[in-house]
Amino acid sequence: MSAGAIDYASLTPGQKLGIKYFSVAMILFLAQLLFGMIAGLQFLYPELFYNQLDFSVNRMVHINAMVVWMLYGFIGSVYWLVEDESGVELVGAKLGNINFWVLTSAVTVVVLVYLFVQTGAGRIESIWFINEGREYIEAPRWADIGIVVCVLVFFYNVAATFTKGKWSGISGVLVLDLIALAGLYLAGMVYTTNISMDQFWWWWVIHLWVEATWEVLVGCIMAWGLMKTLGARRKIVTTWLYIEVALMFGSGILGLGHHYFWIGTPEYWLTVGGFFSALEPIPLVAMVVHAVYDAGKHGFQSSNHPALAWLIAHAFGNFLGAGVWGFIHTLPQINLYTHGTQWTTSHGHLAFFGAYATIIIAIIYMAVQRLRGDVWMSADLRGGWKWKWSLILQNVGIMGMTVALLIAGYEQSFIERAIGGSTWQAYFEAQTHPWFVQGMYWRVVFGAMMTVGLVLMLWDLLTIGAGETRSAKKVGIPEPAAESGDVPPAAPQPAG
């Protein structure tokens, strides 16, 4: 096949699986934005789809679609890199394929139930078949169990492949992290009628996923991505990875306490949560320094400009959305006023998009490059306006939404909490204040900009590199043998 044409047949088994996961991820990303737009419009026009497609359902589909597409994106990225990193073909590809279809069918059924059943009596059967009622991970219990099984299959595929091939610093961290990621999901399945206890365990999944295990996972993906797009040295990216992981777990685990301030847990969580979560931005600074250092060292010469641009967007988005926007409301003295207002939503949007959507998009651009037969994706890319504009529209869109929500949240903290003393009446005063209403309006305007950006990007992903005849730019300095791996000297060194 010539460069520029779709060359699916020549992909390795792991890469083929990666493409499947990425495709579903992008469909769900689009669904996420459409349901977000409906939910956003319902703030302005509360009667819109009332009793047909209620806000509660749209919001749930919006955030669950997000969690699922990001998990698909991560699984796809790991399948994409596992063979390259281990040096052998994926182990258990057939099983992995069946797994993909089982998981995707289950996700489809769950979404259909969300949309068509929507509500049910508060009985134990509803937990099993309709909705478990835990924000972000609402999937009913039958699906929970299915998800755990599917993740175990995925884990087997990945660990077995590294074991058959070779291990590295990156893959070691990755596999240990996947154990923690899968194990934590179990904490979200514990059922108790005590709401404080229920929330306590639920946060183990939500916080320890996004602020510990997901961060480490994207650290591994970033390390690999920088080696591939820039030719960064393995020794350097691995050293950074170890530092970041140590800092991340050091602050993120007890940082969990910032969700325990007001849910009925002992008071020492105010101190513990406040202190450790305030340290959480530090590893994120390290990640920005790392990415910019590597890119600068290579004069921003990359084999894949869109991917590198999205990797850099990830480094800054993670730092701003999680680090800065997280830090501003993490001290209990401040959180007392901001808790559960639009500040939270402002942070939630910028953090999830900045830290996770961006890096998955970067790896998808790398996958598309390979799918087109390793075509040129550096400077003077044909039709390069598409990736640039879609990047600009999505990032300006998310920043616009974030600022609009922050203004609304500031107003809520001020009028409802600080001045009004959190009374029922103060709540409504805050909800009808012009700053709040205008914030809700601007969210929809910037959300529309984002949606246009995403549609443009999907078009770009389907067409980028088509008809391109130049092959990918070679990057990086050949690595001296002694530096090429983290494999101890006793183990056989792979050639190259």
For ligand HEM, the closer of residues 57 and 351 by Cβ is 351
Closest-CA residue to 144 (of 202, 188, 180): 188
Contacts of ligand HEM in 207-226 (CB under 6 A): 210-211
Torsion of CA 346, 351, 353, 354, to 10 degrees: 120
For ligand HEM, the closer of residues 359 and 381 by Cβ is 359
| Segment interacting with ligand HEM (CB under 6 A) among 30-38, 106-114, 179-187, 190-198 | 30-38
Size of the site for Fe ion (CB under 5 A): 2
Does residue 146 interact with ligand HEM by CB under 6 A? no
Q: How far is the CB of 7 from Fe ion (least distance, A)?
A: 42
Does residue 258 interact with ligand HEM by CB under 6 A? yes
Size of the site for ligand HEM (CB under 6 A): 42
Does residue 33 interact with ligand HEM by CB under 6 A? yes
Does residue 329 interact with Fe ion by CB under 5 A? no
The two tokens of residue 166 are 């070779």
CB within 8 A of 62, min separation 6: which ones?
32, 35, 36, 39
* Residue nearest to ligand HEM according to CB distances in the complex: 326
Closest-CA residue to 388 (of 316, 464, 446, 297): 464
Report the distance separating Cα 201 and Cα 194, nearest Å.
Answer: 11
- Pattern of binders to Fe ion over 407-426, x per CB under 5 A? --------------------
Q: How far is the CB of 234 from ligand HEM (least distance, A)?
A: 26
For Fe ion, the closer of residues 256 and 457 by Cβ is 256
Does residue 407 interact with ligand HEM by CB under 6 A? no
For Fe ion, the closer of residues 85 and 211 by Cβ is 211
Interacting partner of 118 out of ligand HEM, Fe ion, none (Cβ under 5 to 8 A depending on kind) = none
Q: How far is the CB of 420 from ligand HEM (least distance, A)?
A: 18
Contact 241, 220 (CB under 8 A): yes
- Pattern of binders to Fe ion over 160-199, x per CB under 5 A? ----------------------------------------
Q: How many CB atoms lie within 10 A of CB 198?
A: 17
Q: How far is the CB of 69 from ligand HEM (least distance, A)?
A: 9
Does residue 207 interact with Fe ion by CB under 5 A? yes
CB within 8 A of 170, min separation 6: which ones?
85, 220, 223, 224, 237, 238, 241
Among 14, 165, 323, 485, binds ligand HEM (CB under 6 A): 323
Among 322, 362, 363, 371, binds ligand HEM (CB under 6 A): 322
Does residue 16 interact with ligand HEM by CB under 6 A? no
Contacts of ligand HEM in 350-369 (CB under 6 A): 351-353, 355, 357
Contacts of ligand HEM in 112-141 (CB under 6 A): 135
For ligand HEM, the closer of residues 354 and 373 by Cβ is 354
The contact set with ligand HEM (CB under 6 A) reads 33, 36-37, 39-40, 59, 62-63, 66, 135, 210-211, 258-259, 277, 280-281, 318, 322-323, 326-327, 329-330, 335, 339-340, 344-345, 347-349, 351-353, 355, 357, 443-444, 447, 450-451
The contact set with Fe ion (CB under 5 A) reads 207, 211
